[in-house]
Structure 1
Amino acid sequence: MQKFITQLDWRKSPLIPAIIQDDESLEVLMLGFVNQEALSLSLETGFMHYFSRSKNRIWKKGESSGCFQKIKNIKLDCDRDSLLVCVEQVGSACHTGERSCFFRELKNDADNTISLDCAYKKETLLKDCDTQKNSHTNQENAILDTLYHILLERKFSSSSTSYTASLYQKGINTICKKITEEVGELVCEIKDEEKEKMIYETADVFYHIFVALAYYNIHPENILQELKRRFAFSGIEEKNGRKS
């Protein structure tokens, strides 16, 4: 994986354009930009990550919309400074709700002027409005994704200025010990029926669990997907189905 990343020519720019294409229809879906970290995360997780020039951070495609891009294959161009990525697109690639970001076509009008023929349809707007109904869930997913990338950054921060960085520097045994401590504190608050403190301590437990997940580059989305999978089974069925 690292060998592939080093094959790219990063001398021209820290950002490399990635052309995204539907793996089945071969339709061009969008153009994004990746830096080395975004590309590394894409290769590790199997889902496209980009560097947002407006937000100045790495983001996972679909982190707020749910429209993820599962990577099928990646190709380098001849100059090694751009990528062609074939993906399995979940939902729409474009934030407008269109399947592709390239839905405007240049056309010659009767008076020989060139205009944009916009294929942006009313039904697409309605579909986009329906998508907004899930905005609360999307915001929660975005929070988890943002937290995950902050934790990844903390791995390389100074332990003298960052508590989380100090945990990473001390290693996984210290992180596990901290999780155990936080769970113990949460149990005490539950037994004492202190609801506000339960919330506070639960947040502490979750945070340190996410620290451990990020230690192994496991995105919280994987946990959400596992919980969703279990909706189809009763607790007894799920437990009996586990491998011994």
Structure 2
Amino acid sequence: MDIIKVIDEIKFDDKGLVPAVVQDIKTKKVLMLAYMNKESIKKTFEEGLVHYYSRSREKLWKKGETSGNIQKLKSFYYDCDKDSLLIEVEQVGVACHTGNYSCFFNEVLKIENQQRDVIEELYFLLKDRKEKPKEGSYTNYLFREGLDKILKKVGEESSEVIIGAKNRNKEELIYEISDLVYHVLVLMVNEDVFIDDIKEELISRKRS
């Protein structure tokens, strides 16, 4: 790939900057909005770690240079007008200087989508709970107790699913499967396994 040719395609503003929307490649959550210039784009591709241009400090900066919360470059796009960027990254730690995972945490309006993926929504709720513990939360109790406790609960809930199936009671079975799914998701979050990891594995099995 000719990065110089890519840069020549991009339309920078009169200050030599272009806005960049940054998205976590695994969670698909928008992490932040920053600005890049030609030099920061070159540095990003050379090192594989995302660099930006600070308008307030008027200088180049590497994300996570002091905090350790670096962003590993995974994909790079520019839009149809060639005047804005979309960068997908592997986020190490949190993206926001406030300690929040994403800079976009000030919720103003959220219209519930009846077609939303409830399992993915629950997964990200559990992930958020792990990063920002809540007093009295059963989920945080599991994370605090650690892997052995989580595995014990997964085993117990698996047994309850079997019992529900043997009882030929559909309502009981639905209830117990829901409990099992919840505890499996807790396990996934605890072990840094993403839903997309499972999807990719299932897709590879389908192909084979």
TM-score, structure 1 length as denominator?
A: 0.44
In structure 2, relative to structure 1, the CA distance for the partners of 1:44 and 1:91 (3 Å cut) is same
Asked if structure 2 preserves the Cα contact closer than 8 Å seen for 1:42 and 1:48, the reply is: yes
2:17 aligned residue: 15
Q: Which amino acid aligns with 2:8?
A: T
Question: Which stretches in structure 1 are left out of the alignment for 5+ residues?
Answer: 109-119, 126-244
Structure of greater relative contact order (alpha carbons < 8 Å, 6+ residues apart): 2
Q: Alignment partner for residue 91 of structure 2, among 89, 92, 95?
A: 89
In structure 2, relative to structure 1, the CA distance for the partners of 1:53 and 1:80 (3 Å cut) is same
- Cα root mean square deviation, aligned: 2.2
**Post-superposition CA distance 1:199-240 (Å, at most 9, x none):** xxxxxxxxxxxxxxxxxxxxxxxxxxxxxxxxxxxxxxxxxx
2:103 aligned residue: 101
| Cα distance in 1 for residues equivalent to 2:109 and 2:28 | 23
The runs of at least 4 aligned residues of structure 1 exceeding 3 Å deviation read: none
Question: Which stretches in structure 2 are left out of the alignment for 5+ residues?
Answer: 111-127, 134-208
Q: Which amino acid aligns with 2:87?
A: V
Shift, 1:9, TM fit? 1.1
Once the two structures are superposed, the pairs formed by residues 130-209 of structure 1 within 5 Å of their partners are none
Q: Which amino acid aligns with 1:59?
A: W
Shift, 1:79, TM fit? 0.5
1:55 aligned residue: 57
Shift, 1:57, TM fit? 0.6
| Cα distance in 2 for residues equivalent to 1:4 and 1:38 | 13
| Cα distance in 1 for residues equivalent to 2:60 and 2:38 | 10
State the secondary structure of the residue aligned to 1:105.
coil
Shift, 1:34, TM fit? 0.4
| Cα distance in 1 for residues equivalent to 2:100 and 2:45 | 26
Q: Alignment partner for residue 41 of structure 1, among 23, 31, 43?
A: 43
Shift, 1:10, TM fit? 2.3
State the secondary structure of the residue aligned to 1:70.
strand
| Cα distance in 2 for residues equivalent to 1:85 and 1:107 | 25
**Post-superposition CA distance 1:77-107 (Å, at most 9, x none):** 0000110000000000000111100001114
State the secondary structure of the residue aligned to 1:39.
helix
**Post-superposition CA distance 1:108-167 (Å, at most 9, x none):** 9xxxxxxxxxxx99x759xxxxxxxxxxxxxxxxxxxxxxxxxxxxxxxxxxxxxxxxxx
1:66 aligned residue: 68
Asked if structure 2 preserves the Cα contact closer than 8 Å seen for 1:97 and 1:124, the reply is: no
1:29 aligned residue: 31
Q: Which amino acid aligns with 2:105?
A: F
State the secondary structure of the residue aligned to 1:20.
strand
| Cα distance in 1 for residues equivalent to 2:28 and 2:13 | 30
Q: Which amino acid aligns with 2:53?
A: F
Shift, 1:54, TM fit? 1.1
Asked if structure 2 preserves the Cα contact closer than 8 Å seen for 1:39 and 1:49, the reply is: yes
Shift, 1:64, TM fit? 0.8
In structure 2, relative to structure 1, the CA distance for the partners of 1:37 and 1:97 (3 Å cut) is same
In structure 2, relative to structure 1, the CA distance for the partners of 1:11 and 1:57 (3 Å cut) is closer
| Cα distance in 2 for residues equivalent to 1:89 and 1:30 | 11
| Cα distance in 2 for residues equivalent to 1:16 and 1:10 | 5
